[in-house]
Amino acid sequence: MRILPIIWVSVSALISIPLFGQNKFYPPDPYTDWDGITHKSRYLITSPGYMGPNALPVPFLHKGLVPERVNWSGRYEYYLGKGNQTQDFHTDFVVPISDRVGLEFSYAPVEFFSMDSATSRNWRTYSGMASEGQALGDIYFGTMFQLVRDHQYIPDITFAMTCRTASGTGREFARHTDTPGYHLDMSVGDSYGKRQGFFQFVRWYAETGFLVWQTYLDNYPQDDAWLYGLGLDLEFRDFYVNQSYRGYTGYMNNGDKPQIYQADLGIRIGRAALVFGYQKGFRDYPFQCFRAGISLNGLK
């Protein structure tokens, strides 16, 4: 008869271990457990599953190449999620300073948002009420290094380091984290085709790396994530189609495992291109994104 209590205690202990491991990365509920003293930012869940689409986005993939010319793109983006709408303007620069080294810059200068009360409360905003407004974005800057290029047997390989500033505003609305971060990645890729005629070439690429950002948890002030992605570009004479699937996996299991599928269509006009894109988030990135913009390949 004593076996049943022993089994029950053992099963309960086994069940409680993963539950404790999951819940310890969630701060107390600010609407029921606020002590009246602690700053409300300490109750935020600093992960992509509980913040706006620009707070902790999945980085764009590198393609194993440092561009030979200066590249610039600017676009309008519309994010749609349950109980949340976000619009922003985004710009990217890639500047080669040699055939082996390039500099990167990315910035969403402003976003406009609106969210209902259920989303606001789920994201633990300061008020927990429906709200709308605008916020400034974070600045991303980094360096790319070409390790291998145009080798007969080895695909192109690049290594990149990217930092994120804490310049974004709107922390009280869960729009940005107001904390720094960085990521390191290694990308490989190769192209196949004659680069002439209607069909130019196809390029595959893959990436793996390491992404880090700061949280507001006293005992766990940093989340570390494995960064990954795959992509395929189809290049034609007058247009191109790019597709990628990418994401990262944090260790806290508190909404820190976003995944994204993205497709872009670019219609060439000389060195410029009109670009139209769609992005679908999965798991801890509950947004769809529609974008339109222009890119320039070569500014010098």
Please tell me the predicted confidence (pLDDT) of residue 224: 94
Residues of the chain below pLDDT 50: 1-22
The token duo for 138 is: 């974070």
Please tell me the predicted confidence (pLDDT) of residue 20: 39
d(CA 41, CA 172): 7
Instruction: Give ∠ CA 195-269-72 in degrees, rounded to 5.
Output: 90
Please tell me the predicted confidence (pLDDT) of residue 2: 46
Please tell me the predicted confidence (pLDDT) of residue 31: 85
Please tell me the predicted confidence (pLDDT) of residue 51: 95
DSSP letters for 220-278: --EEEEEEEEEEEEEEESSEEEEEEEEEEEESS-SS--EEEEEEEEEEEETTEEEEEEE
Sequence ranges of the domains in the chain: 3-297
Q: What is the pLDDT of residues 259-276, one digit of tens each?
A: 999 999 999 998 899 999
CATH 2.40.160.40 fits domain 3-297: yes
Please tell me the predicted confidence (pLDDT) of residue 196: 82
